[in-house]
A and B are shown apart, each in its own frame.
Chain A
């Protein structure tokens, strides 16, 4: 039959409308089951392609299996009459129909159940079997001569077969055949025309794309979830880690104090013992003098210790840079004089930071401690100034410096080149600084010295 131009236009327009409506629905979901339901509804809905029954089979290439995944439509004539008489009473627009396909419950279950029971081993099929050909040749087959005697389809689908016109076509992703779509005109036997075949082909392409997108989306979603889980696990670990490092810093400081106290203690003890054993008044006087001098050292050390409480409650306050630097400098005074280290401070009196005082002390303590340890003698310079919203603090020294290959590693936890070093100093400093939204920069030249600059919120 030759169509008029007007008829052709109307038909094409209708086809476009159908495809557009179904495509739009397919694009709206990444749920594989919904995509299949939408496709099957598009194939069978009265206002769409109007086929009788449609089913989707998935193809598992590795296992050489084809298995039923979803189906829609009546299992027998009685069901067909029930469905169509019900639907013909309602005039439902396709959009609502598709919406219902996703959200609504299916009352007729027998055909879908039968479809989902089907498992076909493709290796057992003869080459002329249409299920095998559709995968190998990747094209649509319109079968009009299938009968119980001349079956041509896998025996596993006999139970859902009704002699009628059958369409089978591949469901493909961009690379592979991922399944088979099968549809028929059983019970109503409306002829399947070329327009229907064309639309079925286009719809299967849309479905293939939608399925591939959904799978990719789901893979990415799963990976994202894994990453999220990993991230939260990392955060917990990091918190524990920081807690432990705080303890390590306490340990480091304790070790420093032990050393500072032990040296004069040993001297006092030794001379005191000698006094008890000596009868020479001159020796006794001299030794007692030494003891007094050593006791003065104790006083100095204890004076510093009492001015500093590491375990004070954590609270953000207005911290004076000058005062904190002074506390740190006092702490190292003995070390400075022992190594003849010259200390230069260049800080404007009115520089303040919003931070926890103890943490700022910890930052400066670590930086100065690193400088002291890196030098036999020389100069340590501490500068501080307000820059925009930040306070910029630099601790530089004329120590042995860091070999260029080690500079990127200095903030790695447990990285240390010092004997007995914990390798946590700069790691802790960086963590504290980053917690405040600040940053740290390290520059160094071997045998010339190191400068560490930190930026903290003003």
Chain B
């Protein structure tokens, strides 16, 4: 069975590395983007199964990126992964499948990914 492919959109280099390696350990293929503009382009080109999206990024912020991704692929599952806890209601009502606040325990993110991709 082919590996499920995750697009990770995160501007912090070290965080990107951490999530990529952790998710790869669980058997996913992870492609990365450090900004919203590239992410939208990659969604168009690559066949992704899930997007993990940071909210605050340069060039195009998470909200705008989310809107553009959804315009291209309406059914693509999206997890908002952010340091801001306060926008949860806004995002869950209009777009994202999950809204996770960043913590040092990465297993929460990993479990959510597995759940959405039906591997749990």
Contact = CB atoms under 8 A, between A and B. Distances in A.
A420 B87 contact: yes
Contacts of A420: 84, 86-87, 90
A290 B87 CA distance: 29
Classify chain B: how many residues form its interface, as a range: 20 to 34
A326 interface: no
Contact of A376 (B12, B18, B60, B103): B60
B117 interface: no
B112 interface: no
Given A259-B84, A294-B14, A340-B58, A269 B90 contact: no
Contacts of B17: 290
A266 B83 contact: yes
B18 A271 contact: yes
B33 interface: no
Nearest to B90: A419
B96 to A, nearest CB: 13
A255 B56 CA distance: 13
A338 B63 CA distance: 17
Interface centre among B11, B58, B90, B106 (most CB of A within 10 A): B58
Contacts of A377: 58-59
Given A266-B104, A270-B104, A255 B86 contact: yes
Interface centre among A269, A270, A271, A338 (most CB of B within 10 A): A270
A263 interface: yes
Contact of B87 (A263, A340, A419): A419
A340 B11 CA distance: 13
Nearest to B57: A338
A271 B59 CA distance: 28
Interface in A4-55: none
A273 B58 contact: no
Given A290-B17, A376-B58, A419-B63, A255 B84 contact: yes
Contacts of A293: 14
Contact of B22 (A265, A268, A270): A270
B119 interface: no
Nearest to B56: A259
Contact of B102 (A263, A271, A290): A263
Contacts of A270: 15, 18-19, 22, 104, 106
Given A258-B83, A419-B63, A338 B18 contact: no
A267 interface: yes
A262 B86 contact: no
Please name the 6 residue pairs, one residue from A and one from B, whose CB atoms are nearest each other, closest first.
A269-B104, A262-B83, A270-B18, A259-B83, A266-B102, A267-B14
Interface of B: 11-12, 14-15, 17-19, 21-22, 56, 58-60, 63, 83-84, 86-87, 90, 102-106
Given A270-B106, A294-B14, 16 more contacts: A262-B83, A263-B83, A265-B104, A266-B15, A266-B103, A267-B14, A267-B15, A269-B105, A273-B104, A338-B58, A339-B58, A340-B58, A377-B58, A377-B59, A419-B63, A420-B86
